[in-house]
Amino acid sequence: MSWLRSAFQDELDGVTQTLVDLSALVSDAITRATHALLTADIKEAEEVIASDDRVDDIQHELDARIIDIIARQQPVASDLRALVTALRMSADLERMGDMAHHIAKITRLRHPNAAVPSELLLTIEEMGKVARLISDKVGGVINSRDVEKAMEVEKDDDEMDKLHRKLFTTLLDDKWSHGTETAIDITLIGRYYERYADHAVSVARRVYFLVTGKFSK
């Protein structure tokens, strides 16, 4: 029966690898979406928008594969926890891809004009860097199941929250001169980055649960 267990473990490892691959895709997407936003690069924005279909396809295929494994193998205990957790992580990663997609769509909407006023370029650039840092770390955590690294993601998210608040400070300043339309764009952009990081935190928390069987505080 050992070969059956080995085959099942190979399937579990395959699920983990697909999650790692998904995290790499959404990490690349947020980096390219940020660059397109900051440079008003319509070609790159369109590429990010198109690439979201691939993320969706991989997520749907992975979910179907996980459900099939559960039906065939009828796993229990930690194996079942790993598969159910993977279903939830794949949903979070797909939503991270959606956030990058939404940012790219704002670039496309405002082209050929820039969506971000010059005084906010550095803040948005920093949000993009933090988003990339968080998603790269999440990919490593999924692969290594390092619970200490998983908890670091929440601290990284604090930096994103600070940058999000900084955006609103600028928007609410009496000196704001870019009108309502741009204010709405910046509000949405800030929200997309903030939600991207939140979903990454959710993935990290699920890894913590997978390893410990307990929910992080």
Contact between 141 and 150 under an 8 Å Cβ cutoff? The reply is yes
How many CB atoms are located within 10 Å of the residue 149 CB? 16
pLDDT in tens, 155-203: 999 999 999 999 989 998 888 999 999 999 999 999 999 999 999 999 9
Percent of residues, the chain, with pLDDT higher than 90: 86
Q: Radius of gyration over alpha carbons of the chain, in Å? A: 19
Rounded distance between C-alpha atoms, residue 52 and residue 159, angstroms: 26
pLDDT of 4 reads 57
Mean residue pLDDT of the chain comes to 94
pLDDT of 78 reads 87
CA torsion 104→192→125→136, rounded to 10°? -100
Whether a cis peptide bond, with omega within 30° of 0, leads into 112 is: yes
Contact between 208 and 126 under an 8 Å Cβ cutoff? The reply is no
pLDDT in tens, 53-70: 999 999 999 999 999 999
Looking at the predicted structure, is the pLDDT value of residue 140 above 60?
A: yes
Q: Write down the domain spans for the chain.
A: 2-212
Q: How many residues does the chain have?
A: 217
Q: What is the dotted CATH code of the domain comprising 2-212?
A: 1.20.58.220
Describe the crossing of helices 77-110 and 179-212 by its angle, rounded to 10 degrees: 170
